[in-house]
Chain A
Amino acid sequence: MVILNNTRNKRFNLTINSLININEGKQMAHFAKINEENIVLTVVVIADSDTVNPAQNEDESVGQIYCENVLNWPRHLWIQTSYNTKANKHYTNNVLSEDQSKAFRGNNASIGNTWDVENEIFWPQRPYTSWVKDVSTASWVSPAGVKPDLTAEQAAAFSYYAWNESGQSWDLITS
């Protein structure tokens, strides 16, 4: 066995471990790298075993230290995120999970998202300037509420609703 102990090799090891874990069906942990303005720069995947404390419990701070050591970025700017959480709902293989207590930090972090320290939510970019945060669903909502449902006839005609920012309304677009 080759012992890899410098930074470059650790990084290589990190990738290899992730691939091994994918093959073995093991769980992996995702960490978002944020800058000092709380904007997500990138998201990395590390093995769950790199986030386990001496008591064998998953511990975010252990993963943060691991990321700091391997990827040279301060530990407090690594925030764990859930690949399976979207709009404050947890999904398993793209199906809504029965156990919604697994929903974690609002949304799966991606590049350009903003980390909301107060609410512990990763926010996607605001779609329109008039839209406001809904913390309970970890999503942006329009001043006119959610998009209206299409009727069967509208759906059959491939119509759809689009947000009209100047009119502050949902407009039905018919093709």
Chain B
Amino acid sequence: MEKKILTEQSLYIGDVSMPKNFEINRKELAHYILHCKLTGEKYPHSRTQDMLKAYISENFNLKYKQKLIYKETWGDIYKPLQITPPISNVDPVDLRHSPDYTMLYGVEVEDCIVRIYYDDNRRKGRSWDIPLENNKFIIFPSSNTYYITNNQKDSLNFVQTTTYDHTGR
């Protein structure tokens, strides 16, 4: 008997472990997110974002021998006790330009839960909950719908989203 995997839905979770004095400046990212939300400007390119992008793509390539090709980054702010509507980063009428993977990065978060929906054969609409913490990332297929919950009532949650295409090494 042989087994052939045609497709799989994988989640990648981890911390961004940078060398001393080169840590991700999360305050700077939170500042940019807030600035963009207030002004409507595009999320700016920055040294910090460059470091985060390099860390994710290099370590993903090292560990899984797959290249993540950067597409887009933006930031969001979630109010206390806010539950987002279901989010999908795939445009069903433009699959060609839609991303393969979505990465959520905890910029400044507290009690933040990401619920990712998936289908398990005939069992549709199953979900998996992952807590998103500061300086932690979650990468998952962009075709999976998800929503984000800010479970506490005192502070805003800042989350950065980055989308990628992917290819073998």
Question: Which A residues lie at the B interface, using CB under 8 A?
Answer: 7-8, 11, 33, 36, 39, 41-42, 71-74, 77, 111-112
Contacts and interface: CB of A to CB of B under 8 A. Distances in A.
Nearest to B61: A111
Given A8-B45, A41-B62, A112-B62, 5 more contacts: A33-B58, A72-B47, A72-B50, A73-B51, A77-B19
B54 interface: yes
A73 B54 CA distance: 10
A71 B62 CA distance: 18
A41 B56 CA distance: 11
Given A73-B19, A74-B22, A77-B19, A7 B50 contact: yes
B59 interface: yes
Interface string B49-80: 01100100011011000000000000000000
A36 B61 CA distance: 17
B21 interface: yes
B19 A74 contact: yes
Contacts of A72: 22, 47, 50-51, 54
A33 B18 CA distance: 13
Contacts of A73: 19, 22, 51, 54
A41 B59 contact: yes
A111 B60 CA distance: 11
20 contacts: A7-B47, A7-B50, A8-B50, A33-B58, A36-B19, A39-B62, A41-B59, A41-B62, A42-B61, A71-B54, A72-B22, A72-B47, A72-B51, A73-B19, A73-B51, A73-B54, A74-B19, A74-B20, A74-B21, A112-B62
Contacts of A41: 58-59, 62
A33 B55 CA distance: 11
A39 to B, nearest CB: 7
A57 to B, nearest CB: 28
Contacts of B19: 36, 73-74, 77
Contacts of B47: 7, 72
Interface in B36-53: 45, 47, 50-51
